[in-house]
Amino acid sequence: MKTPIATPIEFSCHAPGAKAVFIAGTFNDLKPDATPLQPEPISDQWSVSLPLPAGHHEFKFVVDGEWGCEPGCGHAYTGCPKCVANPFGTMNRVLEVL
């Protein structure tokens, strides 16, 4: 059986003052503490590179325990072009890997 090709995808989140940032997505069973991001000195950016197979992936950042598409963005889905509505009435970021 052929193993699907995974593409390294860089995720980053601007989270000034955060103590911990994680990414929860369809690629890690939406586990809020499975995939930590690493802080980048001085910039307040947190990042991680993940190998993802082709397909549709949804995700959220978890910043100091708070879920959101970005810090301060936990509001109801309002048609953001990079997001899709989820069953909880909020939004998930969406990424299509080709």
Delimit the domains of the chain by residue range. 6-97
Q: Which helix (H) or strand (E) holds 2?
A: none
User: Can you read off the two tokens belonging to residue 19?
Assistant: 């103590």
pLDDT at residue 74 is higher than 60: no
CATH class of 6-97: mainly beta
- Cβ of 15: how many Cβ atoms within 10 Å? 21
Q: Are 22 and 29 in contact (CB under 8 A)?
A: no
pLDDT in tens, 19-37: 999 999 999 999 999 999 9
What pTM does this model have?
0.88
